[in-house]
Structure 1
Amino acid sequence: MSVKSWWRRLLGRSATTELDPARPDLVVVASSFDDAEACSTALGKALDWTADQPVVLRHHLRVPAAQVNAVQVIAAQIGYDTAAVGESDPVKLVLQRVQVLDALHCSQERSRITAIAHRHDGDVLGWDALQPAEPGR
């Protein structure tokens, strides 16, 4: 097993989880914008989510404009790309990465992103997961 595949496995991703986040047919299949809602509850309510297929996991944050770059750098170290950056201050920032999702990994990622946001005077608005709309994906 290569070091890269070991890290992907550790982070809940495998080499087969390649999904283009820019695909036009992606739709939200699961989400939670309630701090008190467990990931297992949100995923349990998801009707169109296919658990064994990769998702684009997005975290929606609000951080001071002066902290955006620092948040992006740290998030990149754990495999997140910037999907969107707002124009206002505080900035609405969306971080995303592709992975196979389950309640445990969702909860872990939510905690990581929350810690990053809080260390930079921001907060997390919520998360969502996208998969292709078509059957068979």
Structure 2
Amino acid sequence: MAEGRRKRWFRRGRGEPEPPLVDDGTLVVVGESFDPARADSAVLADLAGAGVVVEGRQLMLRHVLRLPDDAAVAEAARLLAPDGWVLSPGPGGVTHADRAQRVDALELARERTRMAGLAQRLGGDAEGWRLLGRP
């Protein structure tokens, strides 16, 4: 079998890769949690029960942070940038920490804990998270 045909044969079942997810204003909220007492796995289970496929899907994870000043925002951006997080201002004086990724309950819980610790260390608060995806 020619090398070119072999490569096409192996790729055939995979489909096209998803284009990179960018918040260009067309993304919609597919799920969120602003209740620190509620487990992320329960939120994902409710979404699945409502027919929203979240786990394993590439989504924009957006943490909503309330940081005390520009210096805290700059420090958070410095600490989070190596892991692909992008910070941007949101409405009402909040800061959004965004990263495109595949989502599962463990990852959500881990990142929520990380953001809560970071915000607290900088004198702020991690209010919750949203998942954004293509409509």
SS at match of 1:64: coil
Distance 1:128-1:17 versus aligned 2 partners, 3 A rule: farther
Q: Give 1 or 2 for the bigger CA radius of gyration.
A: 2
**Aligned positions, number:** 115
Distance 1:64-1:24 versus aligned 2 partners, 3 A rule: closer
What's the offset of the Cα at 1:17? 6.6
More helix by share: 2
What's the offset of the Cα at 1:79? 1.5
Asked if the contact 1:18/1:54 (under 8 Å) is kept, the reply is: no
Deviations 1:57-96 (A, max 9, x none): 000010111311101111112220023255x7xx411100
Deviates further, 56-65 or 70-79:
70-79
What's the offset of the Cα at 1:50? 3.5
SS at match of 2:21: coil
1:43-82 → structure 2 map (5 Å cutoff): 43-46=44-47, 47=50, 48-65=52-69, 66-82=71-87
Alpha-carbon separation, structure 1, partners of 2:25 and 2:95 = 20
Counterpart of 2:124 in structure 1 is: 122
Deviations 1:20-46 (A, max 9, x none): 322443111111001101110111111
Residue 32 of structure 1 aligns with an amino acid whose one-letter code is S
In structure 1, the gaps of 5 or more residues are 1-15
Alpha-carbon separation, structure 2, partners of 1:18 and 1:105 = 21
Matched-pair identity in % = 31
Asked if the contact 1:19/1:56 (under 8 Å) is kept, the reply is: no
- Equivalent residue in structure 2 for 1:105, among 97, 107, 110: 107
Alpha-carbon separation, structure 1, partners of 2:78 and 2:117 = 14
Counterpart of 1:22 in structure 2 is: 23
TM-score (norm 2): 0.76
Q: 4+ runs of 1 displaced by more than 4 Å?
A: none
1:32 aligns with 2:37: no
Residue 63 of structure 1 aligns with an amino acid whose one-letter code is L
